[in-house]
Structure 1
């Protein structure tokens, strides 16, 4: 009998060892097969994948165009170059927004500079250009990618800068991004040359001039590499006159919106259609004085959208007739912009007072101003590294020190004791110390997938990611990797004779393992561009729950919550800080700024995007317009209580 029991236990141990070894083999083989499938992708397939990511990332909120089907009529004209090295122009330019792609495709070389006055619609035109060119793109053509130029520095080569943005903004790996750039399959559409410097910086020493020099040297072999650049008219005129322009490029100038076109745009809006008596004085002034102050103040698509938003539902547009300067018109419009956008939004955040929204956006705008260099990109992972985030970094350093201190004390107290405890403590000290490296801009990280993001819960992107994971070259790797959680669950719940431990309580702690496998595969297939910049905090929360859930269950299962519980939580905390240091620093930054900003900042920014206050470029949020950002830095809090934007009685649209 004793011999039979021993043989039974030996068999159980053997089965357990076989299952554990099989788990490791399947996991390693699945990861290796996935890597091979990814590495085998050719340039054409990689370009098509990037094109899909750009399409997902380039969607604009309807509020960006004013929340109506009526859009301003934007026209342009080619301007002669101030030098002899210009691109060959089309014989019959279209001159309208819907013909820009056709005009660009006949340029030789394909280098285009788009200029216009502030608010002329350069950024919206660049986004529309990227979307339309992606639709007309054939296999072998470069993929247009919209990139904001604000974070480029002189020390970084332009090619490396493009690669970095493909990784950060569009979820490409470093290897894949370099492969695409080296193959000439990326067309940079660069926005914001005029937003790189402060006004007092001399032109010869400006970052804009250095960027223009770098763009002039951006080549494919001996030929100029294709690119599109947007800039304010007066700055680009000064850069051309400096004697160091960008050669081999054509230049188009966006025309101002005429008074008649502005009046036609406003009269066709739904607000003017239902409030004709209120709008009549403004429309009459535009038509009667086409060169007047009001017509010149409303000569850009941005200002027209501001007018439509400010007076769509309420407020009297006739107050614009009392303004005497263009600056006064801008301040009046921007004063109504936030309350009107809040009232027009239908999401949960619209229940917040417009004054709170104003204060939160003003805090973010002041933070960007303090970073200097004309910064316009609001990137969530980088908030904790801003100059104002010193206390957040100190809190993170305190957490790292606390999580590394407990294993260090146990290590010192166990010298010559249990070798298992000694070894685990030494490992945790090393893992916890790695968290300190996240405080450095280029520190070592155990978790290298910086592009890992999660779609919003309930988003149809989850279904898209699962379909992508279950089809294509990586489907066999996905199937093999899916066996890993199955084997782990079997090891937890199976009875002893079949190689399991028969512990159902432990199986509860392992329920997140299949979820992790599905989420990892889904997120890897979607990429950060499809998910958007708000998916990064969700990934951090997911990993926190993933690590803390089993530890919490084990603590509640134990009869004593003494040193063992503290040691377990410390181990989990050290691992999380080592794996997801930037996410932990972002949480510290939110805690430090909880009185000045909503704790669910990413959700607020997504609502602001839907409301038309914020726009998205890749993995970065940006204020709707640079004028709006600068106005918020001057007015971080509402100057006076704003009138409600809800009309007493609202006529429903038939």
Structure 2
């Protein structure tokens, strides 16, 4: 009996290890597998992507408060008409208003977009005017009104596109969508692009480097095929400079401008806010009605600045009438800077006071420390010409360029000393001479230092990865893993 046990137990252990490895491999494959898979019908892939896009941007619209009835109204109107197939102007008036009826605004945006023969559009507006909000509305409108198996809009940030390094629009769209929705695998999105089932909504053309904007429009015109829809958003001044500089316009695409917020809309919005007792906007209301082009009137013409001013005075209190000091604030930018200087303090002032049900180890927010950190991040983005925070690269930027060579030399010297000590201990008969010991230990340390530097600079900074779970075929994979492990154990 003991002999039998002696032969069975090692095999069982090996089988158990093989089963564990197989199960781990199948689990990893299960987690890495993209949703759906490119082997499914293209129409089914489009419908799956549409459901994901709709869920994502509905959640984002709720987070931004776009579905609230008290939302600040947002209006848009055609600025320039589109060029027809033979150069003739196509007269279309695309206008609308978001004033709390979210679903109606989404539907109007989709209907306006469907009127365009080429399904192409350029959205322009002032900084903070709501271009991204309109891009979200348009994305949701298209995805809600699309037929089964129809084209799917995908909202992408233009700042991630380098049209010089990646000249083809489809190549960039495929990579960006794969990174966001398909776990970095491109089979499904490539299949959708091949069937013309993707409508890129490219937000923030102005966030690209100035030298790349004209190229981006050129590449977009070269890449879009007949019937392919595309939407660009850009600040009004940057787009005007782009066209004045000789850039081609987007083929068959009208330019839709986001309108400034009307004075009465601003007043009605602020009157509905529960203000602290000492906060009174009466003087500001009077100035807005009497002189809408004053510095404070221009500042309050964009949703971004209105919402920031609301946050500052709702959380910190104070006198909004201070915004009217003409001798201090000579332009809208002076007023904006005054408000922006208080945004961080206002954001942290919202932190709740500790109570019996709150965190046990509560610490009040440190506004000075937060200001210092956020300032550092802003300066870092400016120095590197970036609009998006690439947080996983911060560690490399914080290190001095002398860190790798110093660490490699120190590690090499430590290894050299360790090898020398090891030779001295193991070579009791002193067969290895002093020169040979030094040569071996020095060669080992130097080789390790060189290898360390090669690995350091060759590895770079990997991008973070996303884990996507797909239930399709999960039972079959787990069953196969179990049977393989069971067979190995037997």
**TM-score bracket relative to the smaller structure:** 0.7 to 0.9
2:7 is the counterpart of 1:10 = yes
Query: Does the 8 A contact of 1:400 with 1:435 survive in 2?
Result: no
Q: Per-residue displacement from partner, 1:22-72 (whole Å, max 9, x unpaired)?
A: 455556667778869745333334334433443455443877559975222
CA spacing shift, 1:450–1:352, aligned 2, 3 Å: closer
Q: Which of the numbers 186, 189, 198 marks the counterpart of 1:174? A: 186
CA spacing shift, 1:440–1:193, aligned 2, 3 Å: farther
How far, CA to CA, are the matches of 2:384 and 2:195 in structure 1? 35
TM-score by length of 2: 0.75
> Which residue of the partner structure matches residue 370 of structure 1?
383
> Which residue of the partner structure matches residue 208 of structure 1?
213
Q: Per-residue displacement from partner, 1:119-163 (whole Å, max 9, x unpaired)?
A: 211122223332343333432223222222123221212222212
Cα deviation for residue 352 of structure 1 reads 1.6
Cα deviation for residue 298 of structure 1 reads 1.1
CA spacing shift, 1:324–1:33, aligned 2, 3 Å: closer
Q: Which has the higher helix share?
A: 1
2:268 is the counterpart of 1:264 = yes
Look up the SS of the partner of 2:70 in the other structure.
coil
Q: Which of the numbers 259, 282, 285 marks the counterpart of 2:284? A: 282
CA spacing shift, 1:441–1:289, aligned 2, 3 Å: farther
Query: Does the 8 A contact of 2:201 with 2:232 survive in 1?
Result: yes
> Which residue of the partner structure matches residue 229 of structure 1?
232
Query: Does the 8 A contact of 2:125 with 2:258 survive in 1?
Result: yes
Cα deviation for residue 363 of structure 1 reads 0.7
> Which residue of the partner structure matches residue 452 of structure 1?
466
Cα deviation for residue 300 of structure 1 reads 1.0
Look up the SS of the partner of 2:199 in the other structure.
strand
> Which residue of the partner structure matches residue 166 of structure 2?
156
Cα deviation for residue 440 of structure 1 reads 4.2
2:195 is the counterpart of 1:183 = yes
Look up the SS of the partner of 1:366 in the other structure.
helix
CA spacing shift, 1:43–1:267, aligned 2, 3 Å: same
Look up the SS of the partner of 1:124 in the other structure.
helix
Q: Which of the numbers 341, 346, 349 marks the counterpart of 1:343? A: 349
How far, CA to CA, are the matches of 1:337 and 1:75 in structure 2? 26
Q: Which of the numbers 112, 120, 140 marks the counterpart of 2:121? A: 112
> Which residue of the partner structure matches residue 356 of structure 1?
369
How far, CA to CA, are the matches of 1:144 and 1:78 in structure 2? 21
How far, CA to CA, are the matches of 1:235 and 1:83 in structure 2? 21
Cα deviation for residue 74 of structure 1 reads 1.1
Between Structure 1 and Structure 2, whose CA radius of gyration is higher? 2
2:484 is the counterpart of 1:473 = no
Cα deviation for residue 320 of structure 1 reads 0.7
2:132 is the counterpart of 1:127 = no
How far, CA to CA, are the matches of 1:46 and 1:56 in structure 2? 16
How far, CA to CA, are the matches of 2:42 and 2:406 in structure 1? 43
CA spacing shift, 1:398–1:285, aligned 2, 3 Å: same
CA spacing shift, 1:109–1:61, aligned 2, 3 Å: closer
Q: Per-residue displacement from partner, 1:384-437 (whole Å, max 9, x unpaired)?
A: 45xx3453894599489959x979x89xx89xxxxxxxxxxxxxx99x979955
> Which residue of the partner structure matches residue 41 of structure 1?
40
Name the stretch that deviates more: 226-235 or 162-171.
162-171
How far, CA to CA, are the matches of 1:401 and 1:137 in structure 2? 63
How far, CA to CA, are the matches of 1:441 and 1:84 in structure 2? 51
When the two chains are superposed, the root-mean-square deviation of aligned CA atoms in Å is 4.4
> Which residue of the partner structure matches residue 324 of structure 2?
321
Cα deviation for residue 356 of structure 1 reads 1.6
Q: Which of the numbers 156, 178, 196 marks the counterpart of 2:208? A: 196
> Which residue of the partner structure matches residue 300 of structure 1?
302
2:306 is the counterpart of 1:309 = no
Query: Does the 8 A contact of 2:76 with 2:257 survive in 1?
Result: yes
CA spacing shift, 1:30–1:124, aligned 2, 3 Å: closer
Cα deviation for residue 328 of structure 1 reads 1.2
Query: Does the 8 A contact of 1:114 with 1:228 survive in 2?
Result: yes
Query: Does the 8 A contact of 1:218 with 1:224 survive in 2?
Result: no
How far, CA to CA, are the matches of 2:405 and 2:482 in structure 1? 35
Q: How is 1:210-609 mapped onto 2 (pairs within 5 angstroms)?
A: 210-220=215-225, 223=226, 225-243=228-246, 244-271=248-275, 275=277, 278-313=280-315, 314-322=317-325, 323-346=329-352, 351-372=364-385, 375-384=386-395, 388-391=397-400, 394=403, 398=407, 439-440=457-458, 451-453=465-467, 469=470, 471-478=471-478, 480-481=480-481
Name the stretch that deviates more: 137-146 or 210-219.
137-146
Look up the SS of the partner of 2:156 in the other structure.
strand
Q: Per-residue displacement from partner, 1:578-617 (whole Å, max 9, x unpaired)?
A: xxxxxxxxxxxxxxxxxxxxxxxxxxxxxxxxxxxxxxxx
Give unmatched runs, 5+ long, in structure 2: 99-104, 354-358, 424-446
CA spacing shift, 1:364–1:399, aligned 2, 3 Å: farther
Query: Does the 8 A contact of 1:400 with 1:433 survive in 2?
Result: no
Look up the SS of the partner of 2:78 in the other structure.
strand
Give unmatched runs, 5+ long, in structure 1: 199-205, 415-428, 454-464, 492-497, 500-654
Q: How is 1:49-64 mapped onto 2 (pairs within 5 angstroms)?
A: 49-55=48-54, 57-58=56-57, 59-60=59-60, 64=64
Query: Does the 8 A contact of 1:65 with 1:305 survive in 2?
Result: no
Look up the SS of the partner of 1:115 in the other structure.
strand
> Which residue of the partner structure matches residue 138 of structure 1?
147
CA spacing shift, 1:55–1:18, aligned 2, 3 Å: same
CA spacing shift, 1:30–1:296, aligned 2, 3 Å: closer
Look up the SS of the partner of 2:60 in the other structure.
coil
How far, CA to CA, are the matches of 1:132 and 1:393 in structure 2? 53
Cα deviation for residue 277 of structure 1 reads 6.2
Q: How many residues align?
A: 439
Q: Per-residue displacement from partner, 1:98-128 (whole Å, max 9, x unpaired)?
A: 1222211221101110011222111222233
Name the stretch that deviates more: 54-63 or 297-306.
54-63
Query: Does the 8 A contact of 1:384 with 1:393 survive in 2?
Result: no
Cα deviation for residue 19 of structure 1 reads 3.6
